[in-house]
Structure 1
């Protein structure tokens, strides 16, 4: 199995690197790319949906990004332990009718010794917003630019 650095045990710096790598992968909206950060038998709870394994992760993300369009995400480490990281995140997207949402959430992650995530528990709340209230304005063709404010700087 390929290692996915940084590896546990995590420091504040390596936990932040892991969160940014996850953010960049999710912002690609590429389900296959995202799935490679998880163990082959990874277990998820995402809101009220339970997913097991990479194939189910890919299917879940394909459906997600068919209904959450123009998806832009920012993650921030809340705390970490030896092989666990808790992050808070916010993403903005719109549905096929054009209604924008800001989705606030928390994730608890557990990693194996190779740096692959074996468990992900996500709780998420969606708030409808107007287009004028959007805060995440970067080109969808790439990751969030290094100079774009994070959650704390945006007051989220």
Structure 2
């Protein structure tokens, strides 16, 4: 994905919690990422990554803040109603594995305002620098078309309280 003239995100020197992670600090890191992504604001999400962070998002490979901001801007322009939940899957001293689900819709026919909802099921592999900023993010996900009646993350629902049954894990 080509980089545009998107402004670089401001950098913080550290992004607590810092490695080495414990179960508690890894869990905090996961929920902080979930909350940032649910803002749908690339300028809020990007500072969590190192300046030269390497990403793989499905079949897209990119590196650096400008590319991350461009990617997220395009993603959230087409994925309407985006709501995400992340759960800690595993961790080591400086790595975290995350399982996630998010829902979004696309306009099938703008003239009729018909929406098609999707749920993405996926896993992420994160590696962190000593300053707590992510230096590598690898994502794999699968989108499944769902009916409006099958949605979990409706407006006003706390994504953390949704009971996601074992068949979806």
With structure 1 as the length reference, what TM-score do the two structures score?
0.91
Name 2:32's counterpart in structure 1: 21
Name 1:125's counterpart in structure 2: 142
Name 2:133's counterpart in structure 1: 116
Give me the whole-angstrom Cα distance separating, in 2, the residues matched to 1:77 and 1:33.
21
Deviations 1:106-151 (A, max 9, x none): 0000000000000000000000000010011244xxxx738623xx
Deviations 1:63-82 (A, max 9, x none): 00011110000000100000
RMSD between superposed Cα atoms in Å: 1.3
Answering whether residue 54 of structure 2 is matched by residue 54 of structure 1, we say no
Give me the whole-angstrom Cα distance separating, in 1, the residues matched to 2:127 and 2:160.
29
Structure 2: state its 5+ residue gaps: 1-11, 109-114
Answering whether residue 102 of structure 2 is matched by residue 91 of structure 1, we say yes
Name 1:67's counterpart in structure 2: 78
Larger RCO: 1 or 2 (CA < 8 Å, sep 6+): 1
Give 4+ residue runs of structure 1 displaced > 3 Å after superposition.
144-147
How many angstroms does 1:99 deviate by?
Answer: 0.6
With structure 2 as the length reference, what TM-score do the two structures score?
0.85
Q: Which has the larger radius of gyration?
A: 2
Structure 1: state its 5+ residue gaps: none
